[in-house]
Chain A
Amino acid sequence: MSATFEPNIVAFLCNWCSYAGADLAGTSRERYPANLQIIRVMCSGRVNPLYVMNALQQGADGVLVSGCHPGDCHYMEGNYYARRRLGMLKDLMEFIGVDPRRFHMSWVSASEGHKWKEVVEKTVEDAREAGPFEGFRRRQIDW
């Protein structure tokens, strides 16, 4: 692993809190690393755990899922489902030998632009430490 390794990170953000928080980070001109790309979903509860595995398989070195704070879900309880499912997934990933630093969950509200910046920095830093992900056999899927 070289000192300048730049990890590639895919992030799933809920439309109502974290995606809006990431927008606010932009409006507030926060600065954070460009290693992370966002996919918008309506709710963190929509994030099928397979998406996380799929992202790693498709060439991501790290994955982040971010939603509303527990109790604040726009859809009442979607983030509770996310927390359960993805918590289990994290355990499973560790079990099969994927560095837990590659997968993060966070709760960022629509007003937490600065927190979003910190979450990105932490996610990127952890994935950088974990190094390039070579754990899964790559599979090119032509959609």
Chain B
Amino acid sequence: MTEKPKVGVYVCHCGINISSTVDVDAVSEYAQKLPNVEVARTYSYMCSDPGQVLIKNDIRELGLNRVVVASCSPRMHEPTFRKAIKEAGVNPFFLEMANIREQCSWVHEEIEEGTAKAKKLVGAAVAKARLLEALESKEVDAEPAALVIGAGIAGIQASLDIADAGFKVYLVEKTPSVGGRMAQLDKTFPTLDCSACILTPKMVDCASHPNIELLSYSEVEEITGFIGNFDVKVRKKARYVDFDKCTGCGDCAAACRVKDRFPSEFDQGMGKRSAIYLPFPQAVPAKYTIDAENCLFLSKGKCGKNPKCQEVCGAEAINFEQQDEMVEFKVGAVIVATGFDTFDASRKPEYGYADYPNVITGMEMERLVSASGPTGGKVKIFNGKEEIEPKEIAFIKCVGSRDKSVGNEYCSRVCCMYVAKQAHLLRDKMPDANIRVYYMDVRAFGKGFEEFYDRVRRENVRYIRGNPSEIFKRGDKLVVKVEDTLTATPLEDEVDLVVLGVGLEPRADMREVMDLLRLSQSPDRFFLEAHPKLRPVDTATEGVFLAGCCQGPKDIPDTVAQAKGAASSAMIPLARGKVTIGAQVASVNEATCRGCSFCVSICPYTAIEMVTVNRFGHEVEVARVNEALCKGCGSCSAACLSDSIQPKSFRDRQILPQIAALGVLK
């Protein structure tokens, strides 16, 4: 470092956000007296255009070469101010921010303590700023391809958008078919579009698109690398059916020795399937899969003399020798669209879901009313004596949502409307049925929702405000015990069928994805976005984006909108063809490195290697950092025996002065 540090300190009022609990003028006066500080000023909004001009002018007129901005969190405006000082000709890494808003003015009430703390924070920032170093960001090529995890409507839409833009997409789906939850739905609120009719064309498109490589019945095993350059390993699980030979005729399933014996996942366990199966008639790809757990030949080693499926398959597609296959490829961006689980209603034992067959969930009702469902769309139930068409039907809303007792404080956003839709569908099928909905609130907030809710009420569906406390059996009826809270009347309502409006939950297997991509959860346990308002599809991991219900409950239009947003964000590195990689990486002082290689064993990114150098005429081994792989965490540095490996911008000599400034010797 040759030039003497000349620091400018800029203290932001942030309107009254900071100035109401921090005396910004006092902080500025204090900063003015700190060593190497040329100028200290305050301004109402430093991030505004005039605020930035103020800094730039000082740089030009006073020859500042370091800038400290005391304002909001660097997580908010660090890029803004880096850009500003760069425009004025100062290396963008000669910026240090003091967080006097989120971590000071907003959490303290007394102006004395707020001001005293802000002075310390500014002092620490100046102490560090004096010792910062100029860094250069590097650009590397980005692979023009994307990985999309999950092929529900979110994953399908995101894949189609990216593929249509001309980039390669690898769409990985865990189950044998694409389609996800939307494929299971009958009609969609509030327009009553047939779900399958609007979804299946997209399912077919994503399987036939020349730019989309669909990896169904596959799971992502490993993702390494960084934005622009992710290396992905996918396990294609063995279907025991030759993908290319299978014609999807279905002879195998009809011949299976354990035909129609196992609960169909697609029909929520209400229908049955064979051990070799297609999840549903419109499944894409239309290829059969053998469920190895239930297949007699695969689980017991014997299925009659010869497995029937093998005997009847004209295409000779059955292959019991098939093994899982590993596929590896490179992508520039990743979209996570892993969806949700529905709330397990047996966790509310008072509703008797596990005990009474005629207490069903909303998802089961979808299959029951669907023409492609296990009953062909006929709503029939067995009341213990005979099969009847239910006459008295009750819906209960907010089951597993807005309920702290099950740990779900959030609103699931879709239940109000799917309950209204199902009430309408039942009314359509059964004009004489008595249908009522028990509710806490009706949240009909979306486009066309209120109008639809109004229509359903006019179709003689009674809405009764009350949260049922219990469901029990009386004779062949179910009794819903509830208080009508609008009239303060306790009721015991005898019904034939209860439909629980179950909410949406994060997937039970989301941990696997979190570990793959270093994602975090928000308090509701769904994936955490980078910023709740301004970066709703981004994550803390650059190049990784979220789409659909994995980020929080949403309906189909919102899911599609978010998927399109995620696709467009993911395409930024793909279209640019380049990504900027972090400049704040580790570097080694080869003169002092003793070659112990502790750092090599610690680095989680294998970014450090040992190389031989000539030091004063001796061949010695020293560590060297691969800057493209290093992410700048600094774990290596804390382990270094000679303080030789140091993360740039977070060096010992940059952090220790901060400590000294905050310690403030007594």
Contact = CB atoms under 8 A, between A and B. Distances in A.
A31 B660 contact: no
Interface in A1-43: 8, 10, 15-17, 19-20, 22-27, 29-32, 34, 37-43
A42 B110 CA distance: 30
A117 to B, nearest CB: 8
Contacts of B73: 19, 23, 26
B221 to A, nearest CB: 16
A15 B103 CA distance: 13
Contact of A39 (B76, B106, B124): B124
Nearest to B660: A58
A70 B117 CA distance: 30
Given A47-B638, A76-B518, A81-B635, A34 B662 contact: no
Chain A facing B: main interface SS: loop
A74 B521 CA distance: 12
B630 to A, nearest CB: 10
A78 B633 contact: yes
A37 B120 contact: yes
A60 interface: yes
Interface in A33-59: 34, 37-43, 45-49, 51, 54-55, 57-59
Interface stretch (A92-100, A122-130, A135-143): A135-143
Nearest to A68: B520
B518 A45 contact: no
A110 B99 CA distance: 16
Interface residues of B, number: 61
A8 B121 CA distance: 13
A39 B662 contact: yes
A37 B121 contact: yes
Interface string B614-639: 00000000000000000111110111
Given A26-B107, A31-B109, A32-B107, A37 B604 contact: no
A81 B639 contact: yes
Contacts of B103: 22-23, 25-26, 38
Interface string B43-75: 000000000000000000000000000000111
A7 to B, nearest CB: 11
Contacts of B515: 71
B537 to A, nearest CB: 17
Contact of B634 (A24, A45, A54, A138): A45
Contacts of A48: 637-638, 652
A109 interface: yes
B662 A23 contact: no
A72 to B, nearest CB: 6
B407 to A, nearest CB: 15
Nearest to B123: A37
A55 B521 CA distance: 32
B522 interface: yes
Residue of B106, B124, B528 with highest tally of chain A CB at under 10 A: B106
A38 B114 CA distance: 14
A117 B102 CA distance: 12
Given A39-B124, A74-B518, A46 B663 contact: no
Nearest to B654: A143
A111 interface: yes
Contact of B99 (A34, A38, A45): A38
A58 B661 CA distance: 8
Nearest to A27: B102
A110 B528 CA distance: 9
B430 interface: no
Contact of B604 (A8, A75, A141): A75
Given A10-B662, A17-B520, A59-B666, A46 B116 contact: no
Contacts of B114: 34
B106 A75 contact: no
16 contacts: A25-B107, A26-B104, A34-B114, A37-B117, A38-B99, A39-B655, A40-B74, A48-B652, A58-B662, A58-B663, A60-B659, A75-B631, A81-B635, A81-B638, A109-B520, A143-B131
- 4 interchain residue pairs of minimum CB distance: A58-B663, A46-B634, A26-B102, A59-B663
Interface of A: 8, 10, 15-17, 19-20, 22-27, 29-32, 34, 37-43, 45-49, 51, 54-55, 57-60, 68, 71-78, 81-82, 85, 109-112, 117, 132, 138, 140-141, 143
Interface of B: 73-76, 99, 101-104, 106-110, 113-114, 116-117, 120-121, 124, 127, 130-131, 514-515, 518, 520-523, 528, 540-541, 584, 602, 604-605, 631-635, 637-639, 647, 650, 652-653, 655-660, 662-666
